[in-house]
Amino acid sequence: MTQLILFNIANGLIIGAFYALMAIGLSLIMSLSDVINFAHGGFLAIGAYIAYTLSPYIGFWGGLLVAPVLTAVLGIIVEKFLISRVYGRDPLYSLLLTFGLAFIFEDGTRMIWGAQSVPYSVPNWLMTPLSNEYFFITGYRLLMIALVALAVGGLFWMMNKTRLGLRIRAGTLDLETVSVLGVNVRVLRNLNFGIGIYLAGLAGVLAAGQLGLQPTIGASLIMPSFVAIIIGGLGSLLGTLLGGLLIGVASGITSVFLPSGTEAVMYVMMALVLLVRPQGLLGEEGRF
């Protein structure tokens, strides 16, 4: 029994880490651009497929390194030519645009790579369980946790120690004043979007090795990511990370005791948080 619970907690942490990576990117974009990026899951899928396509040539590690960067470049292009056009307009525009993009990405990946799930190969030694007793702990899972920690840590460092990060934080509260201080806010929003999409791409590559790769891989992660943002508190990096991990683990544990409630538990948690602490667990007035 303990083993089963541990197994599901581990699974929950892994899936929660995906939610967190997605959610942090979504939250960055929402805070600076006032756009809810429904295409985020599409970017995740594209990141995964890019890695899948490139890894025969540059290997697993090469794909892990290059695919998120290429995804970010795609994000930067999409922001510059499409998303930025709807800034400042009625939110309905960005909603329709990103919704449309989500469909385009999903069908696009289906057209190029097929609707069937494709095998994404991870080096064998990474997939071997580290011990018989804890068969669910593989090198790959440890690698994932390490990379997610590295990405979130790196982002945290950037937001606090670099001028780009400071400007993003300032801009989430008052973009007008950032602009008046001579900062090109078009470039700022563009780079910020790219950072968010980089995280989605990274989540995509990691998820492909763990969950298998099919065109809907991103769509299944997007709703929980929104829930993670709300539970953690919009604008709080650590809160969003915590929110993602929490709902992942909660789903994992629920699957042991009440399998039919696995999907619902995160929404119940969200409702509770909204009732008790509407700004989210770590949300406060000052963002990031």
How many angstroms separate the CA atoms of 39 and 46, rounded? 11
User: C-beta of 161: minimal distance to another protein in Å?
Assistant: 10
DSSP string, 24-40: HHHHHHHHHH----TTH
**Contacting range for another protein; rule: CB under 8 A; set: 183-191, 200-208, 211-219, 273-281:** 183-191
- The correct pick among 186, 264, 272, 274 for binding another protein (CB under 8 A) is 186
Contacting another protein within 77-96 (CB under 8 A): none
Q: What are phi and psi of 183, to 5 degrees?
A: -90, 125
**Contacting range for another protein; rule: CB under 8 A; set: 34-42, 148-156, 171-179, 193-201:** 171-179
Q: Which two tokens stand for residue 187?
A: 């470039």
Is 186 or 277 the residue whose CB approaches another protein more closely? 186
Q: Which amino acid is at 136?
A: F
Residue 172 CA neighbour count, 13 Å, CB half: 21
User: C-beta of 169: minimal distance to another protein in Å?
Assistant: 6
Contacting another protein within 7-36 (CB under 8 A): none
Q: Is 173 in the site for another protein (CB under 8 A)?
A: yes
User: C-beta of 167: minimal distance to another protein in Å?
Assistant: 6
C-alpha closest to that of 149 among 286, 9, 279, 24? 24
User: C-beta of 31: minimal distance to another protein in Å?
Assistant: 11
**Contacting range for another protein; rule: CB under 8 A; set: 17-25, 85-93, 120-128, 166-174:** 166-174
Q: Are 224 and 247 in contact (CB under 8 A)?
A: yes
- The correct pick among 36, 166, 238, 265 for binding another protein (CB under 8 A) is 166
Q: Count the Cβ atoms, other than its own, within 10 Å of residue 64.
A: 20
Q: What are phi and psi of 168, to 5 degrees?
A: -65, -45
Positions touching another protein (CB under 8 A) are 163, 166-167, 169-170, 173-174, 176-186, 285-288
